[in-house]
């Protein structure tokens, strides 16, 4: 079964047939791309992911990160694989030619990243955070800062990370206490401490560039007083050479449930009064600046989660086809059959298949919106694509991470006791995947963002744009005999979802505390609606592809599977949102009556 990292047949169907990546080739930015280059790019990424990243994931998990007297070391085998990754130009393929990028369409970039995330999440985290650090400098940096930092960051010579979390702040970013004291030369002296910083320190690169939030002395409390700074571990001279150590000290690394090859560091800045930072993005504009990095990372984290879930599904599917146990259904005796023939195993596999394929397609759709926002000429269309990215960000992040982990645990269930053992990949995938629902804003924060900001932003324009896309797909599917009744059912669920959304919006000002208690269930409903939308869209495309001449038996089976998967999800999983919507509509106040004293310790 292929590489067991990513179902390339399905992923390529999503970007080629469903979302028509070739449409992008008409734009100047992507004019060097073609179907042939897309195919070559995917094969090259698969070879590196399967041949270099995947074989060292288990050993990297066993070795873990080393820490000794302020020095952090990654598993030794990571260095050679990372070197090949950089040599292949995979560190920033979507960026402009000017800084060494390949101007790759984001859909294709996401597909290749999914291979690497499934192969070795711990090693890939170093790279994806580095890219986001570079993106902040690209968008907000001065020409001098771009010249100094972008090429070494996007070539992979420098690492990059995002430094927000503090012991007394956590997700409450406004409580940050790290200080920035102006120097006479326009730089700032940085003093403070951070924790839970992914890629905060390592020996993988020759330097690490920290994108850090701090408060300039005298500026207001809360998020409004925060500014953003570039703080290199080693100072960079004007000619690009490395200078002196910048007083950024790693004080320890976290001992984690998973992702043990990824350094999550505690950091001290300026203990010797010699840490220098450069302001980026403007004074007191730190949150605006940093959110560009966080929003990119939130979609990437959703990709991480579903990449690991997708790999777990492929491993479980392979196991279920090979593992024989029990007689055929309805027979008391007889030869043992592969467990894929048993109803509950097949149900688990179909659950995994539908969420993996639906959320993966949703991420590709968000990727296309990101590109279209940048390249299309129509201002109204630019706005619409931007609105879609905004509202899909929390859905992609939470859906990919929550459902990715659910798929990992379902894979363990299919594999039984074997799946719980370290000899099988699903066990590590589950451990590595769990963090994705926690970092870059917990999924509870994503739920609050969707409910409290995204559905009401721009007088509901973003939500309206999303619902319009969903309803257009439903109308298309209604015209297909095999999908007509399922599309009608999906349409009724979407109508109910819209009604309850309007109800929640009206309640936000009436009883915010009780209303926000529904944020996470509401986000779960949004995820299922989005998955149903994507699967119906894929089924509609597959029904047309079925009619083409020259389809192989494998093609026929694939197209049939897309139709059945959509029918299953709409008929067997999507209806579960009805109970949640009923509860939200009822809005019982037992939650508010639950006094803190009633939680017995």
What pLDDT sits at residue 294?
74
* Whole-angstrom distance, CA of residue 534 vs CA of residue 318: 25
Buried-state track 463-480, b at ≥16 Cβ within 10 A, e below 16: bbbbbebbbebbeebbeb
d(CA 557, CA 66): 48
pLDDT more than 90, % of the chain: 86
Contact between 107 and 371 under an 8 Å Cβ cutoff? The reply is: yes
User: How many C-beta atoms lie closer than 10 Å to residue 284's C-beta?
Assistant: 17
3-class state of residue 269 by DSSP: strand
Of 413, 352, 365, 394, the C-alpha closest to 568 is 352
Mean pLDDT value across the chain:
94
Mean pLDDT value of segment 593-600: 88
Task: Identify the pLDDT of residue 101.
Answer: 86
What are residue 215's phi and psi, to 5 degrees? -115, 120
Instruction: Identify the bridge partners of residue 13 per DSSP, sorted by sequence position.
Output: none
pLDDT in tens, 338-378: 999 999 999 999 999 999 999 999 999 999 999 999 999 99
DSSP string spanning 132-170? HHHHHHHHH--HHHHHHHHHHHHTTSEEEEEE---TTTT
Q: Which helix (H) or strand (E) holds 216?
A: strand 207-216
Question: Under CATH, which number does the domain 8-143 receive?
Answer: 1.10.540.10
Cα–Cα dist 285/219, whole Å: 11
% pLDDT > 70, the chain: 99
Closest of 116, 138, 118 to residue 128, by C-alpha: 116
Predicted confidence (pLDDT) at residue 2 exceeds the cutoff of 90? no
Beta carbons within 8 Å of 184's beta carbon, 6+ residues apart: none
**Angle separating helix axes 484-507 and 519-545, nearest 10 degrees:** 160
Q: How buried is 143 (Cβ within 10 angstroms: 0-12 exposed, 13-18 middle, 19+ buried)?
A: exposed
The class level of CATH for 159-284 reads mainly beta
Regarding predicted confidence, which is higher, 105 or 328? 105
* Neighbour-count burial for 364-384, b at 16+ CB within 10 Å, e otherwise: bbbbbbbbbbebeeeeeeeeb
Which residues are identified as catalytic?
440
Does the pLDDT value for residue 470 go beyond 70?
Answer: yes
Per residue in 29-68, pLDDT (tens digit) is: 999 999 999 999 999 999 999 999 999 999 999 999 999 9
* pLDDT at 129 (0 to 100): 86
List pLDDT tens digits, range 163-180.
Answer: 988 887 656 666 789 999
Band the pLDDT of 132: cuts 50, 70, 90.
Answer: confident
Q: Which residue is it, tokens 């399905």?
A: 10
pLDDT, tens digit, 9 for 90 and up, residues 391-417: 999 999 999 999 999 999 999 999 999
Chain segment 507-551, per-residue pLDDT in tens = 998 888 999 999 999 999 999 999 999 999 999 999 999 999 899
CA distance 205 to 599: 48
What are the domain boundaries of the chain?
8-143, 159-284, 442-591
Per-residue model confidence as pLDDT tens digits over 291-324? 777 778 899 999 999 999 999 999 999 999 999 9
pLDDT of the residue at 332: 84
Element at 457 (helix H, strand E):
none
Residue 330, pLDDT score? 86
Q: Are 248 and 231 in contact (CB under 8 A)?
A: yes
Q: How confident is the model over 415-454, as pLDDT tens digits?
A: 999 999 988 999 999 999 999 999 888 999 999 999 999 9
Asked if 150 contacts 138 with a C-beta cutoff of 8 angstroms, the reply is yes
* The pLDDT of residue 292: 75
pLDDT over threshold 90, residue 99? no
CA distance 179 to 214: 5
Positive or negative: CA dihedral 391, 440, 206, 127: negative
Cα–Cα dist 53/392, whole Å? 30
Average pLDDT over residues 217-225: 91
pLDDT, residue 103, reads: 95
């Amino acid at each position: 079964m292929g590489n067991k990292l990513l179902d390339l047949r399905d992923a390529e169907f999503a970007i080629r047939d469903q979302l028509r990546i070739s449409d992008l080739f008409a734009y100047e930015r992507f004019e060097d791309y073609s179907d042939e280059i897309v195919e070559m790019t995917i094969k090259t990424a698969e070879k590196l992911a399967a041949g270099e990243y995947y074989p060292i994931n288990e050993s990297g998990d066993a070795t873990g990160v080393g820490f000794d007297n302020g020095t952090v070391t990654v598993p030794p085998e990571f260095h050679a694989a990372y070197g090949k990754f950089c040599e292949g130009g995979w560190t920033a393929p979507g960026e402009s030619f000017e800084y060494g990028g390949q101007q790759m369409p984001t859909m294709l970039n996401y597909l290749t990243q999914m291979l690497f995330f499934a192969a070795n999440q711990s090693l890939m985290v170093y790279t994806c955070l580095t890219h986001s650090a570079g993106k902040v400098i690209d968008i907000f940096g001065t020409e001098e800062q771009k010249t100094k930092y972008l090429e070494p960051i996007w070539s992979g010579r420098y690492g990059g990370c995002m430094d927000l979390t503090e012991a007394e702040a956590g997700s409450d970013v406004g409580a940050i206490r790290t200080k920035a004291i102006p120097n006479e030369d326009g730089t700032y002296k940085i003093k403070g401490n951070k924790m839970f910083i992914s890629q905060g320190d390592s020996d993988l690169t020759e330097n690490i560039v920290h994108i850090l939030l701090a408060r300039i002395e005298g500026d207001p409390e809360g998020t409004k007083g925060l500014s953003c700074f570039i703080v290199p571990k080693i100072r960079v001279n004007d000619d690009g050479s490395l200078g002196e150590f910048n007083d950024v000290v790693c004080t320890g690394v976290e001992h984690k449930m998973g992702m043990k090859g990824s350094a999550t560091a505690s950091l001290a800045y300026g203990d010797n009064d010699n840490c220098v930072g450069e302001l980026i993005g403007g004074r007191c504009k730190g949150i605006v600046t940093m959110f560009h990095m966080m929003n990119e990372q939130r979609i990437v984290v959703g990709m991480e989660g579903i990449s690991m879930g997708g790999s777990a599904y492929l491993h479980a599917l392979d196991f279920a086809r090979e593992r024989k146990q029990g007689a055929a259904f309805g027979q008391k005796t007889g030869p043992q059959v592969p467990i894929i023939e048993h109803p509950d195993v097949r149900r688990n596999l179909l659950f995994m298949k539908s969420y993996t394929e639906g959320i993966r397609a949703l991420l590709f759709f968000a990727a296309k919106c990101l590109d279209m926002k940048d390249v299309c000429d129509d201002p109204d269309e630019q706005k619409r694509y931007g609105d879609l990215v905004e509202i899909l960000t929390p859905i992609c992040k939470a859906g990919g991470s929550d459902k990715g982990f659910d798929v990992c645990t379902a894979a363990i269930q299919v594999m039984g006791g074997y799946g719980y053992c370290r000899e099988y990949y699903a066990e590590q995938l589950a451990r590595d995947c769990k963090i994705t629902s926690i970092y870059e804003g917990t999924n509870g924060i994503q739920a609050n963002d969707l409910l409290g900001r995204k559905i009401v932003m721009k007088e509901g324009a973003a939500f309206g744009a999303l619902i319009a896309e969903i309803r257009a797909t439903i109308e298309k599917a209604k015209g297909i005999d095999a999908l007509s009744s399922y599309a009608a059912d999906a349409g009724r669920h979407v109508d109910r979802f819209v009604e309850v959304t309007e109800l929640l919006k009206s309640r936000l000002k009436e009883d915010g505390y009780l209303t926000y208690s529904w944020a996470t269930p509401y986000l779960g409903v949004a995820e299922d609606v989005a998955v149903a939308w994507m699967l119906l869209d894929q089924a509609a495309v597959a029904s047309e592809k079925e009619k083409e001449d020259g389809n192989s038996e494998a093609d026929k089976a694939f197209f049939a599977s897309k139709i059945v998967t959509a029918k299953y999800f709409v008929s067997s999983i999507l209806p579960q949102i009805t109970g949640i919507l009923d509860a939200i509509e009822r809005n019982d106040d037992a939650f508010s009556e639950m006094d803190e004293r009633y939680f017995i310790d």
